[in-house]
Amino acid sequence: KTPDSHVPRDPRLIRLTGVHPFNVEAPLSDLYNEGFLTSPDLFYVRNHGHVPEVRDEDIPDWEFSVEGLVDKPLRITLKDLIAEYEQKTYPITLVCAGNRRKEQNVVRKTKGFSWGAAGVSTALWTGVVLGDVLRKACPRRAAKYVCMEGADKLPNGYYGTSVKLNWAMDPNRGMMLAHKMNGEMLRPDHGKPLRVVIPGQIGGRSVKWLKKLILAEAPSDNWYHIYDNRVLPTMVSPEESANKPEWWTDERYAIYDLSTNSAIAYPAHEEQLCTVGAPENYRVKGYAYGGGGRRVTSVEISIDKGKTWRLSNIEYAEDKYREAPDQELYGGKLDMWWREASFCWCFWHLDIPVNELKGANDIIVRGMDESMNLQPRDMYWSVLGMMNNPWFRVAVHHEG
């Protein structure tokens, strides 16, 4: 029996850290087959500790505070949040900063556990705009950061982190407090009954089981803000980093916007490609995402180790929602106020003639965003193994 025995979970999810805490990803091909919206059953989970148990009858009375550098501190229940604020629904992709960390651990062991490439998922989130709530509390001029804290008590205190206040107040960044995903109440693993959703940034900023929003002059001093979700310079080793708090407290190394990334779902890593008597083309398929609301503008495939590249097709499924603004969806109004920005993954595919694949040892993908942030050829190893985004490669196994 673990502290999470009250939490229902899908047996298809792959456990990455033993029995507890629960950290899982779906098999990449299953995740891909779900399509644009991931069902909550297969949505990746990153928990630092136990999942707070909240009975359904207690959900309306779930309370969180807005405090710190504000003129009007607030205590808001979920029932009031739903009754008093405009409800919105947006498609947003969440990505764990550790997505693809396994490749770093193969090169040199990091302090983090091995994620494959399925530490990413997309849902339609319903809730309120974070800035609407903060504005009601009348932030003081000195307030520069929003610190957030969850209800999960961990060995080093409650889970917490922060983002800049001016980001939270900017409606174009789409930061929200969500109580539903894909039209259902949040599942326990995803923050039931209330969580923060920070689009375009690493998942670690999207605090689950939200209890406190604290406006402050400085970034969060929470242990998990300081010792997690950072990319320290590559020369810092696990041993050295343990004795050097100054590496960790340097806010320059805290990561926010996601890096451009992509992965190949088909062929899968161990898939045998049948190139004898096969149809004319093999369809290579996968996902890509950009950071900070930047759209992925090109996805390229190479079957000759990066000497030459072919341009892949890209499908931006979120555009379907853009074309129908102001519709009611899952109890929230879908208004794609970020019409210019993109906070969702996209899917790409490319048909490659089988006779050309016959000579290939591997298939490589790389993506580029609208600011020309191109996935690098080389890995940037760092002690926590975060933001790993070099060219993604699958070996081709020929059958027969």
Residues that bind ligand MTE (CB under 6 A): 43-48, 94, 96, 150, 152, 159, 189-190, 203-204, 206-209
Q: Which is nearer to ligand MTE, 115 or 282 (CB)?
A: 115
Minimum distance from residue 219 beta carbon to ligand MTE (Å)? 16
- Which residue's Cβ lies closest to ligand MTE? 150
Out of 30, 152, 189, 228, which one is annotated catalytic? 228
> Which own/partner contact pairs does 237-245 have at CB distance under 8 Å and 24+ positions apart?
237/383, 238/109, 238/110, 238/111, 238/383, 241/111, 241/383
Q: Which is nearer to ligand MTE, 181 or 360 (CB)?
A: 181
Minimum distance from residue 183 beta carbon to ligand MTE (Å)? 16
User: 356 is written with which tokens?
Assistant: 């050309």
User: 103 is written with which tokens?
Assistant: 């490749």
Q: Which is nearer to ligand MTE, 220 or 297 (CB)?
A: 220
Q: Which is nearer to ligand MTE, 208 or 285 (CB)?
A: 208
Q: Sign of torsion, CA 106 112 115 119?
A: negative
| Neighbouring residues of 29: CB distance < 8 A, sequence distance ≥ 6 | 265, 266, 268
Q: Which is nearer to ligand MTE, 40 or 290 (CB)?
A: 40
342: left (phi over 0), alpha (psi -120 to 50) or beta: beta
Phi, psi values for residue 326, rounded to 5°: 65, 10
The reply to whether 229 belongs to the active site is yes
Q: Hey, is 328 helix, strand or coil?
A: strand
Residue for token pair 């997690």: 228
Q: Which is nearer to ligand MTE, 17 or 298 (CB)?
A: 17
Q: Which amino acid is at 284?
A: V
The reply to whether 344 belongs to the active site is no
Say if CB 121 and CB 66 are below 8 A apart: no
Q: Which is nearer to ligand MTE, 36 or 391 (CB)?
A: 36
User: 288 is written with which tokens?
Assistant: 């890509």
Whole-number CA gyration radius for the chain: 21
Minimum distance from residue 90 beta carbon to ligand MTE (Å)? 16
Minimum distance from residue 120 beta carbon to ligand MTE (Å)? 9
Minimum distance from residue 42 beta carbon to ligand MTE (Å)? 11
Out of 96, 147, 344, 346, which one is annotated catalytic? 96
User: 221 is written with which tokens?
Assistant: 């001093």
Minimum distance from residue 54 beta carbon to ligand MTE (Å)? 13
Q: Could you tell me which of 128, 101, 121 has the C-alpha nearest to residue 112?
A: 101
Phi, psi values for residue 139, rounded to 5°: -60, 140
Minimum distance from residue 207 beta carbon to ligand MTE (Å)? 4
CA pair distance 208, 160, nearest whole angstrom: 9
The reply to whether 147 belongs to the active site is no
Q: Hey, is 293 helix, strand or coil?
A: coil
| Neighbouring residues of 1: CB distance < 8 A, sequence distance ≥ 6 | none
Q: Could you tell me which of 399, 303, 291 has the C-alpha nearest to residue 351?
A: 303
Out of 229, 261, 373, 389, which one is annotated catalytic? 229
Which residues are catalytic, by number? 96, 228-229
